[in-house]
Amino acid sequence: MDAKAPAAQPALRRLRGAPLRRARPVPRGRAGGLLFQWGQYHSTSDFGQTFDLHQPFASRCYALLTTCSRVDVRSALAVSSRGPSSFTINRDDTIDGSYPFYWIAIGDAGSPALTDPRQASLGADSTILWGDATSTSDDDQTFTTPVALGAGPSAALTTVVKADVRSALSLTSFDGPGRKLIVNRHNDIDGSVGFNYVGIGARTGATSTGIQRLGDFKLQWGLPTSDSDQEQLFMLPEAFADMNFAVITTIASANHNQGLSLSRPVNARSFIVNRDASIDGARQ
């Protein structure tokens, strides 16, 4: 995405985070009755740490996605809660030090009102959908998405919402036209784990190009392959106007508990992934 753009409370185990930097103009955009916001923050605490959104949503934050942006990191950052004006990261206690991360938040803009608070049309060609679900199995588990997507490239992303969880949830596949999101988490994950997801692609009857221009910002998505434990450069389908964008990743390969960490954006049309050495082989 791009846009043309208090003190600690130990008794509550709650910290308020500060941004690494505040881009100008504020990174946000409106489309389809939704407000999109994105940025980069630092996670510095193993307790609940709260981060402010750039602008409060009208009533609800539908989705909040995160990706670590530090070299050679396997850990996910669990979003234990999200609200109209802030979200809270409660990472696993085994994570040490400062973790920079990208985030994207999607919520209601207030007008026009959404007819279905689980999906929205973006421009004339694309649909975005979202939801909350619970993973309860180490085998393939299928979740039905709110609406079918059309042809062409589509993508789905997940973020764990259970506090103190280090593992990411890997996807087996995302069948947008068939309304199937299949999760196959790693065998070391036990019990029920809640997660938030977002899917995007063409509207029914249309064909996606992996790009949706929305006035003064745009969304891009795809399914590239990471096959190196060293820095690996990926090109976006189209250049953004500037460096004011965020990249979110989810591994689309069964039985993984790692996140796919980013090093940094390089320019307005590329970014670098530097995954943890525990990830082997080619992974989408």
Choice among 89-93, 151-155, 191-195, 198-202 with the minimum mean pLDDT: 89-93
CB atoms within 10 A of CB 134: 13
Q: What's the pLDDT tens digit per position in 172-194?
A: 889 999 999 998 877 777 788 88
DSSP state of 12: G
pLDDT of residue 264: 67
Residue 189 forms beta bridges with which residues?
none
Q: Do you know the residue count of the chain?
A: 284
Q: What's the pLDDT tens digit per position in 12-33?
A: 233 344 444 444 567 889 998 9
CB atoms within 10 A of CB 137: 11
In this structure, what is the dihedral angle of CA atoms 156, 147, 175, 231, given to the nearest 10 degrees?
-10
Question: Looking at per-residue confidence, does 261 or 247 come out higher?
Answer: 247
Query: What is the reported pTM?
Result: 0.85
Residue 39 forms beta bridges with which residues?
103
Mean pLDDT of the region 76-98: 84
Q: What's the pLDDT tens digit per position in 112-144?
A: 777 778 999 998 899 999 999 998 988 889 999
Percent over 90 (pLDDT), the chain: 39
